[in-house]
């Protein structure tokens, strides 16, 4: 990487991507967000910050992550399929890219503690890792039900020195963890830093997390050209909040020849409310969690219940830049259901010897469909994470179908 910078056209000063984004929060929090924005805009021009972050990407995360030409898969489906291997990063996914950025910023702002909510524990583990490295305390809020379900990640966070705080009200899952984390944050927004886990939330988070993730596409653009002499014709990424997708898309937004596909989780089918999390495909513009974007909501405007086999994808909205990219038709948003994703999960494991995260398997499943539609074309898939976390679940629930006996 010869040059490293975060100079992108959007959002505007108020954090808008077209009509989406912005900041819809109580006034006392707005003051804090303004401070974070100001601090971020300053350090993103600071050579020593950029060097420090880049050194960590190289020597701690193990960047650049390679691009692998999946030749067995390519041969089987008739297009050239390439994988950007974010699964090989330290901690096993792309989330470490923005957690390190947020942790360094918090440290430079003089904050003492990083806090966040987590569902399955992936964001919690990445943040606890960054906190340990940078030397900050870390509180991770997690629903009591999820704590019981995601035992290995809970243990990981504790070994890394984080405090895991159970959310004990309501359904005791992600939504309650968000409430609890927000409550914890409001008690002391001055010494704590709420590290949002995707390109969502009020300004400046959609911009900042996008910037920290954009390393993925910057690398991929150069690597792909070195490998093939060309740009990829298609790029595919899964979309939960949308950070790994924007991470790889951003460097290609101006390349009109490159088709971009964001893949949402269709769960058990997009026709039934509560059984999917296809926020762009089935949602409408609205405001929740401090920003305006496409969202799934019920009649009262409350966030809908959402579901996906991939717990990292079940969020009832999507980063505001995705809503903008949908409206201007720069990115095509598609969906993949549980069955298709699980089939791609086992397919990649067996054909290429790579066990993907179930989240990433959604992108892969769509790439396989695309290969049939556009035979001979090149398809770059962002393999956002590895599937170690998913193996027990996969075998218990889908093992029969794929001939696995334990
Ligand atoms: C969290 C997660 C996602 C979803 O988050 P985005 O912000 O949409 O990228 C996707 N893949 C993996 C492996 C994850 O851990």
| Candidate from 85, 93, 200, 336 with most ligand 1 atoms within 8 A of CB, to mutate | 93
Burial class (CB in 10 A: 0-12, 13-18, 19+), 346: buried
Residue 174: the pLDDT is 85
Contacts (Cβ under 8 Å, ≥6 apart) of 328 = 18
Catalytic residue numbers read 95, 117, 384
Domains for the chain: give ranges and CATH numbers: 29-59+95-210 (3.40.50.1100), 62-92+213-402 (3.40.50.1100)
Residue range 151-163: mean pLDDT, rounded: 96
Question: Residue 76 and residue 198: Cα distance in Å, rounded?
Answer: 34
- Count other Cβ atoms within 10 Å, centred on residue 42: 12
Ligand 1 centroid to 239 CA: how many Å?
7
Q: 15 with 206: CB under 8 angstroms?
A: yes
CA contacts within 13 A on the Cβ side of 322: 39
Q: What is the pLDDT of residue 1?
A: 42
Q: What is the pLDDT of residues 284-298, one digit of tens each?
A: 999 999 999 999 999
Tell me, what DSSP letter sits at residue 197? S
Q: For residue 173, is pLDDT > 90?
A: no
Q: Whose CA is nearest to atom 7 of ligand 1?
A: 243
Residues 297-334 have pLDDT tens digits of 998 888 899 999 998 998 999 999 999 999 999 999 99
In this predicted structure, the answer to whether residue 2 has a pLDDT above a threshold of 50 is no
Residue 359 CA, ligand 1 centroid: distance in Å? 6
Report pLDDT digits (tens) over 70-108. 999 999 999 999 999 999 999 999 999 999 999 999 999
At 9, the pLDDT band (50, 70, 90 cuts) reads: confident
């Amino acid at each position: 990487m010869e040059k490293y910078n975060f100079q992108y056209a959007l959002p505007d000063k108020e954090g808008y991507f077209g009509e989406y984004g912005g900041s819809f929060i109580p006034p006392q929090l707005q003051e804090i967000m303004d401070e974070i924005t100001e601090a971020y805009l300053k350090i993103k021009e600071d050579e020593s910050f950029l060097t420090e972050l880049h050194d960590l990407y190289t020597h701690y995360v193990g960047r650049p992550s390679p691009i692998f030409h999946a030749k067995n898969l390519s041969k089987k489906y008739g297009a050239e399929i390439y994988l950007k291997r974010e699964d090989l990063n330290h901690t096993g996914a792309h989330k470490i890219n923005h957690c390190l950025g947020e942790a360094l910023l918090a440290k430079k702002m003089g904050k003492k503690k990083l806090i966040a909510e987590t569902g399955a524990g992936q964001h919690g583990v990445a943040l606890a890792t960054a906190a340990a490295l940078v030397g900050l305390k870390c509180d991770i809020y997690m629903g009591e039900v999820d704590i019981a379900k995601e035992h290995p990640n809970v243990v990981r966070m504790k070994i890394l020195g984080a405090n895991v705080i159970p959310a004990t009200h309501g359904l005791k899952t992600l939504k309650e963890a968000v409430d609890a984390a927000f409550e914890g944050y409001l008690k002391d927004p001055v010494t704590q830093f709420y590290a949002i886990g995707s390109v969502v939330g009020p300004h400046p988070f959609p911009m900042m997390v996008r910037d920290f993730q954009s390393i993925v596409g910057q690398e991929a653009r150069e690597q792909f050209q070195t490998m093939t002499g060309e740009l990829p014709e298609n790029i595919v990424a899964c979309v939960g909040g949308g950070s790994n997708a924007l991470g790889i898309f951003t460097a290609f937004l101006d390349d009109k020849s490159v088709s971009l596909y964001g893949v949402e989780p269709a769960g058990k089918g997009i026709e039934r409310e509560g059984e999917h999390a296809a926020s762009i495909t089935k949602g409408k513009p609205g405001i929740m969690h401090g920003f305006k974007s496409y969202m799934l909501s019920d009649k009262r405007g409350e966030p809908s219940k959402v579901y996906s086999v991939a717990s990292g994808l079940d969020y009832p909205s999507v980063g505001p830049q995705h809503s903008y990219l949908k409206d201007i038709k720069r990115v095509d948003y598609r969906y993949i259901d549980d069955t298709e994703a699980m089939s791609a999960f086992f397919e990649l494991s067996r054909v290429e010897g790579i066990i993907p995260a179930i989240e990433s398997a959604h992108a892969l499943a769509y790439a396989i469909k695309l290969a049939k539609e556009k035979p001979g074309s090149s398809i770059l898939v962002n393999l956002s994470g590895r599937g170690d976390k998913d193996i027990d679940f996969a075998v218990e629930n889908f093992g029969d179908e794929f001939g696995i006996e334990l």
